[in-house]
Structure 1
Amino acid sequence: MRRRDRHGRGLRGPLASPNPLTGSTVRVPRRPRGVALFADCVQAAVSKGVADCPRAYVGVDIGFEEIPANLTDWWLDQVPLAVARSSAPGRNAAVVLFRRPLEHRAVNTAELRRIVHRTLIEQLSALTGIPVEELYPRVGEEDWD
């Protein structure tokens, strides 16, 4: 049984007739998109970073927001990709990545993963004072550039 692809949104309904023994149909697994995809990218960047330099992540909270909260603090032609906030009494330091500006600069998922990873490493370097080469020893490799 074939269903048509309306408006380029993918196939609607099952890909094949129901199984005569079980009655279930075959469906296409959905790939994460939007917030779920970005959360996966951030998680992968943190996992990679913790494996390379775990001391940089001690006492640092990593998170993301849609866009910077107060754009009036920035120039009209500049939108930040992330911000690093140093620790205050009773609070951890934090790196906040901004989802929409980062997604806007990526052409595909692989590039989004690279941009998120690179932005996180640069913000951690600025926050902790640890050189980028120590945070990510493979700086010159293909996935960094």
Structure 2
Amino acid sequence: MPASAPLSRTRAEIFDDLVLDAVEVLEQRFSKELAGVEFAVEDVPPDLNVYDSDVLEDGDVPLARLLPGRPGRHGVPPRIVLYRRPLEFRATDRDDLGDLVHDVIIEQVANLLGVAPEDLD
């Protein structure tokens, strides 16, 4: 089977596509608000004893983290990081994973913008 065939895609590639799809939908509606916001995927969360309020958790397991950034000349842009393995573990199938990724991104973007998640979805 050719490497470009859908069956040869890794779970990480499929997850990245789900994130990109969710972000693209949001960027169509909120392009100005999301200009400069970076979205990233890491396999697992960093090993910390305590997580700040910028971490979206399920129980004690982080699913995503919002790094608000620092404005200024040498500023760091806001960054939303999704943790692939914990999200995959909670999903029953690909559709469920897509919904979960969407919900987590909505929650983190709402937190970044200071609005209710319902206002974005």
Same fold (TM over 0.5): yes
Is 1:97 equivalent to 2:74 in the alignment?
no
Range with bigger deviation, 37-46 or 55-64: 55-64
Q: Which residue does 2:38 correspond to in 1?
A: 61
- The aligned counterpart of 1:40 is 17
CA distance in 2, matches of 1:104, 1:129: 29
**1:49 to 2:26 alignment:** yes
Task: Give the share of equivalent positions with the same residue, in percent.
Answer: 33
SS of the residue aligned with 1:71?
coil
Q: Considering fraction of residues, name the structure with more strand.
A: 2
1:84 pairs with 2:66? yes
Gap regions ≥5 residues in structure 1: 1-12, 14-28, 137-145
Residue 129 of structure 1: aligned partner:
114
CA distance in 2, matches of 1:51, 1:134: 15
Q: TM-score, normalised by structure 1?
A: 0.67
Aligned-pair Cα RMSD in Å:
2.1
Q: Secondary structure at the match of 2:101?
A: helix
**Higher Rg:** 1
Name stretches of at least 5 consecutive residues in structure 2 with no aligned partner. 52-56
Contact 1:71 / 1:79 at 8 angstroms: preserved in 2?
no
Check 1:44–1:133 CA distance in 2 against 1; reply closer, same or farther (3 A cut): same
